[in-house]
Amino acid sequence: MHHPPILISTDFDGTLILDYTTSSLAPRFFKCLQKLRRTRRVVWLLNTGREWSSLDEIFNTLAMPCHPDWLALLEREIYRFANRQPVPLSHWNRHCADTHRDLFARAAPALKQLRRHIAQSGIAEVIPDDASPYGIRANTPADADRIAAEAASLLADFPEMMLMRNSVYARFAHVDFHKGSCLATIAREEGVSLQNIFAVGDHLNDLHMLHPRYASHLACPANAEPQVKQAIRAHGGYVARAAAADGVAEALGHFFGV
């Protein structure tokens, strides 16, 4: 083991998986992981907006040669993954829960007003969300942009609140908790330095971690949102020619020669 350990942070939907009818998850990505592990310690973080039960179902359905070492769920909670069970990083998750409880309580009247507005908008609907007072599903990406702009103005008194967007979906979050801060926390736990961190994602909720503050090696697959590709290029990262997991494998090849 002559090389320093690396930390690989991957989004899930749209990044490791596009085709949900497949029987084996991301074979080329796992091949890269295996090759990298011949010469160094590799920590893999699955950094997703999903909650555990839906991920568990996928883990049980799809063939995967190994599991992640860490999970960041709902874009904010951190779990070490041991014996196929998520074990919470308690101090972080407690602080995260307290912060959100406090913020959502203080902003309750404004959130209620926005909720009414969305319900009447005709371009989006309010949906249940485990991590937010409610979630939002817009009819189209353009509608999602409009709702986000309206939410920003209705919640102007709460600069610590952000709308965490992913495709036409959105949930509310405190600005301190996102895929980037989760990645930084896990890097500290693992003792991996910034220059040995790789992050890859395809959508708006990945933008927080696709930043030089959190990873030195930044990438997105070919199917990434235009805004994500733009950010990757602006930071000198790698925009893959291949989609989803094949693009992730391509990016790992680019940065680490596998």
Site residues for Mg ion per CB under 5 A: 11, 13-14, 202-203
Closer to Mg ion by Cβ: residue 107 or 207 = 207
CA distances 7 to 64, 108, 186, Å, are 19, 38, 9
CB of 249 to Mg ion, least distance (A): 17
In sequence order, what E strands does 56-196 have?
70-73, 77-82, 85-88, 124-127, 135-138, 161-166, 169-174
Closer to Mg ion by Cβ: residue 179 or 203 = 203
CB of 166 to Mg ion, least distance (A): 6
Q: What DSSP character marks residue 4?
A: P
The interaxial angle of helices 108-121 and 141-154, nearest 10 deg, is: 150
Closer to Mg ion by Cβ: residue 11 or 77 = 11
The interaxial angle of helices 108-121 and 90-106, nearest 10 deg, is: 70
Cα three-residue angle 202-186-216, rounded to 5 degrees? 55
CB of 205 to Mg ion, least distance (A): 7
The amino acid that residue 105 corresponds to is A
Closer to Mg ion by Cβ: residue 167 or 185 = 167
* Nearest partner of 239 among 231, 229, 249, judged by Cα: 229
Q: What DSSP character marks residue 175?
A: T
Closer to Mg ion by Cβ: residue 99 or 230 = 230
CB of 93 to Mg ion, least distance (A): 22
The label of the residue with tokens 């979050």 reads: 173
The interaxial angle of helices 244-256 and 27-37, nearest 10 deg, is: 20
With CB atoms as reference, the residue minimizing the distance to Mg ion is: 14
Closer to Mg ion by Cβ: residue 114 or 177 = 177
- Which structure tokens are listed for 131? 């991590």
The label of the residue with tokens 């406090």 reads: 102
Closer to Mg ion by Cβ: residue 155 or 200 = 200
- Which structure tokens are listed for 159? 């600069």
